[in-house]
Structure 1
Amino acid sequence: MLRDDRDSGGGPPRRTSRNVLGEPLQLCSIKPTTGFYRNGCCDTGTEDVGSHTVCVVMTAEFLNFSKSRGNDLSTPLPEFGFPGLKPGDRWCLCAPRWQEAFKANQAPRVVLRATHEGALTYCSLTDLKRFAMDLA
């Protein structure tokens, strides 16, 4: 499923975001709604200093790892519209966090077609492919 490339003002299409395979970026998740822009895609821009570009599938192990590093992703924060994540949820993870988890042997699986090409600033395509869920 591809995202809608029209801008919110109904103007002409903007440049299509690309995934790490050079294809149009696919949707990561709308339940829960993810992405820096909360559009379901791992889009990024200059204001996304965390580079929320890697579409992952949460595991209990990764959620525990992330919590141990000071980023609790499992506890709901209703005041911020955050439901809390559980194993099986897809989420646009910060590329540096994925890389940190990779080095600690705690990296979650990756959906390459929904992972923004900007992730390659922090992660190698070879490493991402090793954790890919969507390669035939």
Structure 2
Amino acid sequence: MKAEPEKPVNVLGGVLAPCSREPLTGYFRDGFCNTCDTDFGSHTVCCIMTAEFLAYEKYVGNDLTTPRPEWGFPGLRPGDQWCVCAGRFLQAADEGCGPQVRLAATHARALEVVPMDVLQAHAVE
């Protein structure tokens, strides 16, 4: 059975806005931070990449900068928007290197992991 996205609701209670189509992001690679029960990482937080966050991710074992064409992954650069795992975003925020967040494009399920005040502290809109 193929996994299907949950209802696309953002952390503000509205319709989930797209995060990025270039590069194409999301657990479903649909441009949205959609999720479902098989998304164990909860790729629900729409973040704007910074050099600091990308270096942090590489340091903790998640290299987001190296292209992986076999997975259709172009590698990320500062300024790119990407659906980040909620737990990893919270970890980076706790370490002082959390990137900015687009609340309208962050799925409501992120709130199961990340408190709203933490998301708001990193919000760009």
Q: Please give the TM-score of this superposition, normalised by the length of structure 1.
A: 0.87
- In structure 2, the residue matched to 1:80 is 71
Q: How many residues align?
A: 121
Q: Equivalent of 2:8, from 7, 10, 17?
A: 17
| Letter of the 1:21 counterpart | L
SS in 1 for 2:56: helix
| Letter of the 2:97 counterpart | Q
1:89 correspondence with 2:86: no
SS in 1 for 2:44: strand
Q: Return the alpha-carbon distance in structure 1 between the equivalents of residues 105 and 118 of structure 2.
A: 16
Greater relative contact order: 1 or 2 (C-alpha under 8 angstroms, separation 6 or more)? 2
Q: Return the alpha-carbon distance in structure 2 between the equivalents of residues 128 and 120 of structure 1.
A: 9
- Cα deviation for residue 95 of structure 1 reads 0.2
**Any gaps of 5 or more consecutive residues in structure 1?**
1-13
| Letter of the 1:18 counterpart | V
Q: Please give the TM-score of this superposition, normalised by the length of structure 2.
A: 0.94
**Who wins on radius of gyration, i.e. which is larger?**
1
- In structure 2, the residue matched to 1:40 is 31
Q: Return the alpha-carbon distance in structure 1 between the equivalents of residues 112 and 47 of structure 2.
A: 17
Q: Percent identity?
A: 50
**Any gaps of 5 or more consecutive residues in structure 2?**
none
Q: Return the alpha-carbon distance in structure 2 between the equivalents of residues 76 and 53 of structure 1.
A: 22
